Structure 1
Amino acid sequence: MFTKDVTRRLKVPATEQRAYAERLQTTLAEHALGNLSGQYVVMVDRSANVQALFIYFRAAPADTWQMIGASPVSTGRPGEYDHFITPLGVFEHTPANMDFRSEGTQNENHIRGYGKRDMRIFDLGWAQGERGWGKGGISQMRFQMHATDPDRLEQVLGIRHSKGCVRIPASLNTFLDHYGILDAGYVALVESGKSLWVLKSDREVTPWAGRYIVVVDSERKSRPAWSPLPGGKARAKVPAAADTAD
């Protein structure tokens, strides 16, 4: 389903898939989630030389995490005021920080920061983020995962380009939304009788819905071939102040 529905995909070699699976398990264990299984987990490598998102699954704690698919992303770009380095850790996607949907409107720089109309914004609430300007330090930032401008910015996913959030391809956003990959908490609310406007009526929710987004930094010193930089033509079309969108 990932291969069919997601248009921006990365072909990650098997050895790299296993290495990231080990990194995922280590990070989960560090957050008292070492036995997590039976649900999908999203992992993001914020390394400037990777900028990729991976979906993993395992049926039981004794199993090895298996990669479902991978896509390019853009995380926080330091160097300007109000730009955070995307925080590391394990973040729970919960209705306590209710998702919402993009209106598809342009900001003052003619950028649709949340993507086209009706794209879902996965809201992870307030997080402690490292300031990417001035003397650095830690401040609160609103941490979200969302689509980006489809005409000007989706083509440059794969480089750090956001104010701290994780920008993802529109087709991946739709995939996560339609199959409820991260919707375990939302599913529980619906099953208790709640009606949630943010959820579409035609969803096909997986029975293995998860709730965690894991952010790591592989600190790679060079760019792997499986995660290529966006081409020069795409980068040349990026308008001024485009990285001031979320």
Structure 2
Amino acid sequence: MTLSTVQTDQLLDLARGQLQASNVVLSRPQLLIIVDRSPSVQQLLVVAASPSEGWQVIGATHVSTGKPGRREHFLTPLGVLQNTPDIVGYRAEGTRNEYGIRGLGVRGMRVWDFGWQETDNWRWPGTKINIRMAMHATDPDALEPRIGRPDSQGCIRIPAVLNRFLDRHGVIDAEIETAAQSDPRFAALLLPGRIPTPIAGNTVVVVDSSLARQSGLAAMTQR
């Protein structure tokens, strides 16, 4: 699915709204990631965002977000996720589970860990639950071909090629790069030979365009 200009602009507006609601202010031009968890969209945008100028989409791809309804599967939480030195991320070991699945992808794939985040608990409507939120690759044989539809336990599954791009260029590693200068844990995490972008950021914004459409339709029916 290729997003139209109208759809893209809507996602940018939704992301700005999430940043404002979370009191996150962009103080400089930087890259950020927008994820639309809408079941019919499942898209990730890499955006060059400026506090004073328009935002520009520099890349897009499909992802898979949470698919509630099965044990330990929940909606990917809406809101702002930030990659900070409060949590040390990690890399996939490439080990297989009892079903032969490499849930985080092949060995060495980056895992961005955003800690515990609150989302809807489908088992008891109207309640919330905390899930461990991350963005990572997935099994290249069994699960990556399914990217583009809701499929995860709540994390953001991304293609391996995007994982490598974000990792190599430190797209959301601005604070991690700084921490790595004095903390060997972060120095060990970051990719040797990387080429960090000078406009790296630290933010992933999760939106849901289907909720916006539902709100718009509801408003129209009330006129």
The TM-score with structure 2 as length reference comes to 0.88
Q: Within the alignment, does 1:200 sit opposite 2:196 as a pair?
A: no
* 1:174-220 CA distance string (max 9 Å, x none): 000000001011111123x3232111211000111111111111117
* Alignment partner, residue 90 of structure 1: 80
Amino acid at match of 1:171: V
Q: 1:56 aligns with which of 15, 32, 47?
A: 47
Instruction: Provide the identity percentage.
Output: 40
Question: Does structure 1 retain, via aligned residues, the 8 Å contact 2:11–2:36?
Answer: no
Matches within 5 A, 1:154-169: 154-169=144-159
Post-superposition offset of 1:23:
1.9
* Alignment partner, residue 6 of structure 2: 15
> Partners in 2 of 1:190 and 1:100 — Cα distance?
14
SS at match of 2:113: strand
* Alignment partner, residue 32 of structure 1: 23
Post-superposition offset of 1:131:
2.1
Question: Does structure 2 retain, via aligned residues, the 8 Å contact 1:126–1:140?
Answer: yes
Post-superposition offset of 1:147:
0.2
Number of equivalences: 211
Question: Does structure 2 retain, via aligned residues, the 8 Å contact 1:80–1:132?
Answer: no
Amino acid at match of 1:151: D
> Partners in 2 of 1:158 and 1:79 — Cα distance?
18
Q: 2:177 aligns with which of 172, 182, 187?
A: 187
Post-superposition offset of 1:12:
3.1
Amino acid at match of 1:49: S
* Alignment partner, residue 126 of structure 1: 116
* Alignment partner, residue 134 of structure 2: 144
Question: Does structure 2 retain, via aligned residues, the 8 Å contact 1:102–1:121?
Answer: yes
Q: Within the alignment, does 1:106 sit opposite 2:57 as a pair?
A: no
Question: Does structure 1 retain, via aligned residues, the 8 Å contact 2:15–2:206?
Answer: no
Post-superposition offset of 1:107:
0.6
The runs of 5 or more residues in structure 1 that have no matched partner are: 1-9, 223-246
Question: Does structure 1 retain, via aligned residues, the 8 Å contact 2:11–2:207?
Answer: no
> Partners in 1 of 2:80 and 2:28 — Cα distance?
15
Question: Does structure 2 retain, via aligned residues, the 8 Å contact 1:95–1:186?
Answer: yes
